Amino acid sequence: MLSKLNDQDPRVRRTRQLIEQAFDELLTEKNFDSVTVQDVTEKAQINRATFYAHFEDKYALLDHSIRQKFRQEIESRVLNACHYTPENLRMLILTVCEFQVKLNTSCAQSQKQFSPLVEKQIKEQIYELLLVWLRKMNIPVSAEMPATAATWAIYGLASYWSASKNRPALETYVDEALPLVAVNLNQFAPEAA
Amino acid sequence: MLSKLNDQDPRVRRTRQLIEQAFDELLTEKNFDSVTVQDVTEKAQINRATFYAHFEDKYALLDHSIRQKFRQEIESRVLNACHYTPENLRMLILTVCEFQVKLNTSCAQSQKQFSPLVEKQIKEQIYELLLVWLRKMNIPVSAEMPATAATWAIYGLASYWSASKNRPALETYVDEALPLVAVNLNQFAPEAA
DNA sequence: CAACTTTTGTTGACTAAGCAACACAGGAGA
DNA sequence: TCTCCTGTGTTGCTTAGTCAACAAAAGTTG
């Protein structure tokens, strides 16, 4: 059905939380493919029909879960409430890198199964964040293209790092990555104008 | 209202649990008198009207809470699923003593405010348990009177102990208390028949 | 392949929970 | 005293969640 539920309703918040929590726990036990909607609803102790009132299917739940967790990382570093600086960009890259390894360690199996879904969700949020940053420094050209380039570069660099056999130290890696991404954005920064 | 709710309904179980948990937490913070129904519903994040669908008022909640906690103590020692022996009776006395001090320590203020309510609930359950024990050893006389005498004796001894300034060691105290209670019951025990 | 089991979405009728509004009971305090 | 304020129960109406049943997909096994 998915007739939009009221996010303010305590019941809605509660059952969403139950679903998300059950889902998280299940992902630490088995891989995503073998988790069924029934598993989730049984662990969450809700009716299966209720699940479908909240999420279209288990893929929508995964999307939501990834999105939410990444958003939390962003928000905990108040990156969402700030503007562009090389330091903030550096922190963003670092966050994406850390998120990748966190996913790999907290899930039962390496999440090859759903990596495309993860990539989509993360990139969407990086992109939105960069757009906000760029729009704050009213630039002469459209923000979409620099934001797109930077988004893909950040995600690509983070993936590359997290997949490396012998991962270099995160800090030094990010130091190297930063200029590769910043070059597209620095030109619009106030001090460079 | 209090139109009887279905105990099997997951929603009912959930909100009851929320209410009980909120209540417990509040009792560790302040004394019973100053806990309002509003406090409970706010902490539990449920609607106030919902509270009244489950409990008549905060006194009914207290009754329920005490009753449930004591029952848990009984059940965790499987006293509910056994028959009369001096050893089981000893364990029962010990349980009542421990429960008294547990109440005193886990609640913000010593629970003088609601001790009559506590006493009523505990004694009811001791009595029911003793009745079951006595009925299992089909005795020639009615079980009610020995059960009553033993119930009051047990509760009285436990109260006396928990209120003592310099409490003697629980084990030795119970050893002394046991014969005082058992004398009324032993005569019906199989080996004494 | 066919017969099976499991899981998936979806439905409609019913019940519980949320919400806002109400009248009413104490206090507390000028 | 009168007023203000906080907490109490109760109500009618709305929305969310439960349940059982269903058909249809997707695996499994022989």
- For residue range B120-129, list pLDDT tens digits in order: 999 999 999 9
Question: Closest residue of B to A14, CA-based?
Answer: B45
| Residue pointed to by tokens 């620099």 | A146
**Residues belonging to chain A:** 193
Q: Does residue A16 sit within a domain? A: yes
What is the reported pLDDT for A24? 96
| Structure token digits, residue B87 | 């050893």
Do A80 and A45 fall into the same domain?
no
- List of chain B residues whose C-beta atoms are within 8 Å of the C-beta of residue A47: 10
Residue A13 C-alpha, separation from nearest chain B C-alpha, in angstroms: 10
Which positions in strand D are less than 7 Å from the protein's CB atoms? Answer: 7-12, 15-21
A171-177's contacts with Cβ under 8 Å and 24+ in sequence apart are: A171/A94, A173/A97, A174/A90, A174/A93, A174/A94, A174/A97, A175/A90, A177/A93
In a domain, B86, yes or no: yes
From CA B191, how far away is CA A149, in angstroms rounded?
89
Rounded Cα distance between B61 and B63, Å, is: 5
Question: Does residue A29 contact residue A80 with C-beta atoms inside 8 Å?
Answer: no
B21 interfaces chain A, CB cutoff of 8 Å: no
Same domain, A73 and A128: yes
SS3 track for A57-80: CHHHHHHHHHHHHHHHHHHHCCHH
What's the pLDDT score for residue A192? 47
Residue A110's pLDDT is what? Answer: 56
Check whether residue B52 and residue B82 sit in a common domain. no
* A140 at interface of B, judged by CB pairs closer than 8 A: no
* Residue B88 contacts residue B79 (beta carbons within 8 Å): yes
Dist CA A13 CA A17 (whole Å): 6
| Chain B closest-CA separation from residue A18 CA (Å) | 11
- Does B89 map to a domain? yes
Residues A122 and A31 occupy one common structural domain: no
Model confidence band, residue B184 (pLDDT cutoffs 50, 70, 90) = confident
The domain spanning residue A14 has which CATH number? 1.10.10.60
B182 and B106, same structural domain? Answer: yes
- Do the domain assignments include residue A34? yes
Q: How far is A175 from chain B (nearest CA, A)?
A: 46
Q: How far is A38 from chain B (nearest CA, A)?
A: 16
**Same domain, residue pair B47 and B74:** no
In this complex, the answer to whether residue B36 has its CB under 7 A from any atom of chain D, a nucleic strand, is yes
Token couple for A155: 């995600």
Residues A27 and A68 both lie in one domain: no
DSSP, residue by residue, chain B: --PPP-TT-HHHHHHHHHHHHHHHHHHHHS-GGG--HHHHHHHHT--HHHHHHH-SSHHHHHHHHHHHHHHHHHHHTTGGGS---HHHHHHHHHHHHHHHHHHHHHSSS-GGGGHHHHHHHHHHHHHHHHHHHHHHS--SS-SHHHHHHHHHHHHHHHHHHHH-SSPPPHHHHHHHHHHHHHHHHHTTSGGG-
Neighbours of B105 (CB within 10 A): 9
Q: Is B46 on the interface with A (CB under 8 A)?
A: yes
B152 touches strand D (CB under 7 A): no
How many Å apart are CA B133 and CA B141, to the nearest integer?
14
Cβ of B14 and A45 within 8 Å?
Answer: yes
What mean pLDDT comes out for the span B83-112? 86
Q: Is the CB of A54 under 7 A from strand D?
A: yes
Per-residue CA distances from B76 to A3, A40, A62, B62 (Å): 45, 30, 39, 21
Domain boundary among the residues A21, A36, A56 is at A56
**CA closest to B47 among chain A residues:** A10
3-state DSSP assignment of residue A129: helix
A4 part of a folded domain: no
A14 touches chain B (CB under 8 A): yes
CB contact under 8 A, B47 and A14: no
- Tell whether A2 is covered by a domain: no
DSSP code of A5? P
A117, two tokens: 């879904």
B115 lies within 8 A of chain A by CB = no
More confident residue, B152 or B116: B152
Distance B43 CA to C1 C1' (A): 61
B152 pLDDT above the threshold of 90: yes
Nearest to B53 by CA among B66, B37, B65, B39: B37
Q: Measured between alpha carbons, how far is A20 from A154 in angstroms, rounded to an integer?
A: 28
Q: Which residue has the tokens 């989730």?
A: A40
Does residue B2 fall inside a structural domain? no
CATH code of A170's domain: 1.10.357
Locate the chain B residue with the closest alpha carbon to A47.
B10
**Cβ–Cβ under 8 Å, residues B97 and B162:** yes
Residue B132 Cβ under 7 A from any strand D atom: no
Supply the range of the domain harboring residue A50: 10-56
Say yes or no: B8 contacts chain A, CB-CB below 8 A: no
Q: Looking at the structure, tell me whether residues A137 and A158 fall in a common domain.
A: yes
Same domain, residue pair A67 and A41: no
How many structural domains compose chain A? 2
Residue B4 placed within a domain? no
Mean pLDDT, all residues of chain B: 90
pLDDT in tens, chain A (193 residues): 677 899 999 999 999 999 999 999 999 999 898 999 999 999 999 999 999 999 999 999 999 999 999 999 999 999 999 999 999 999 999 999 999 998 887 776 656 667 788 899 999 999 999 999 999 988 888 889 999 999 999 999 999 999 888 899 999 999 999 999 998 777 776 664 4
Whether residues B92 and B153 share a domain: the answer is yes
Are residues A92 and A165 located together in one domain of the fold?
Answer: yes
Which tokens go with B132?
């079951």
Same domain flag for B106 and B71: yes
B46-73 pLDDT, tens digit per residue, is 999 999 999 999 999 999 999 999 999 9
